[in-house]
Amino acid sequence: MTTHGLLTGLKVLDFSLWQPGHYATQLLADLGADVLKVEPPGGDRMRVMPDRFVNFNGNKRSVVLDLKRDEDRARALELAGEADVVVEGYRPGVAERLGVGYSQLSAINPALVYCSISGFGQVGPLAAATGHDVNYQAYAGALLPAGAAAPVVSNVLIADEGSGMSAAFAILAGVLGARRTGEGDHIDVSMTDVVASWVAPMGSIDQARGETGETIAAPAMGTFAVSDGFVVLGVYTEDHLWDAMCRALGLEAHVGLDVAQRTQDAVALRDELTAALGRESRDELVARLSAVEVPIAPVLTRDEMLDHPHFWSRGLFSTGPDGGRALGHPVRFSKHPALPPGRPPELDQHSPQGFGSDGPSGHAR
């Protein structure tokens, strides 16, 4: 492994206290950025959730600053003058009141890329509203599938994770621009905007509705119950995949139906397919249909996913410094791989050092 990450030399000052900012800066730290967490007295709010904290704060540094005290605020301004990037996740207006807003820090460092992550953005009618991930999903139209009797809440913190990754992408775009022009930027990431931008393009095609009111765009798309769990099929417009599935399931009478015919008869076909799949066992069915290249996936529990060999083989999970399972960087690089999972910093471990040439916790990069 190279001793220098793709982002070695990038200095990131992180004021965020919640998962979106943590994830954004973790993605940067994985690639070699020097991320300095600014924590309030008593520590980051997520330190009381060690499983989550360790997975979003490895390979970072920590300093404790009370931004309500003049001397600590002065130290924050000094660090911002050294930084390439600042990330904050306060409610709109709070950073300014604490003296570390964009206008205040960019006056010191005009090339600074300053990223604000909030639930509804820095401006707009909802900017001051409070919320958590599920609230942002609700506003974004992500909780209510067509025909559903009640909202369906995912186990995934979609707004948190999506905004963190979007912020990391935007930060790097800002850094490229700043290095080309000498001028930084204020990036405004709205968690709700990110989810809404994913929901909005999902327009409808000619659709049929089943007895429950469920919208059926394609009879072999969606979740199906099997004898010992659930599977998801992904046969959409592809005629050859439909035919392969029908042959594998003993539904030869429906081989040869094109997408228009399948759409027209979607309700009846879905009912027949549901009955056929209900007699199958999950893992045997997945193996049989996968062998003929039909898009099928088991609906895994979280524990099943965490133990799946695919993710371990790719390095998404590995054995961490404490001997337990650790979460790795989600993207692979062939020449400049991400750093392996590292320990989170002890509270205030790097004060008064701040940024430095060695890696977090004293490990050389």
The set of catalytic residues is: 160
Residue 76 exposed, middle or buried by CB count within 10 Å (0-12, 13-18, 19+): buried
Percent composition of the chain: helix, strand, coil (DSSP 3-state, to 5): 40, 15, 45
Which of 148, 147, 285, 267 has the alpha carbon at shortest distance from 219? 267
Q: What is the largest CA-CA distance in the chain?
A: 79
Copy the structure tokens of residue 102. Answer: 């964009």
Q: Based on C-alpha coordinates, what's the Rg of the chain? A: 24
Neighbours of 340 (CB within 10 A): 17
- Closest by CA position to 119, among listed 56, 68, 210, 192: 192
Residue owning tokens 């119950």: 225
- C-alpha span between 325 and 312 (Å, rounded): 10
Q: Is the peptide bond before 352 cis (omega within 30 degrees of 0)?
A: yes
- d(CA 155, CA 59) in angstroms, rounded, equals 27
Give which of 7, 5, 27, 8 is closest to 16, Cα–Cα: 27
E strands within 155-267? 185-190, 208-209, 215-216, 221-226, 229-234
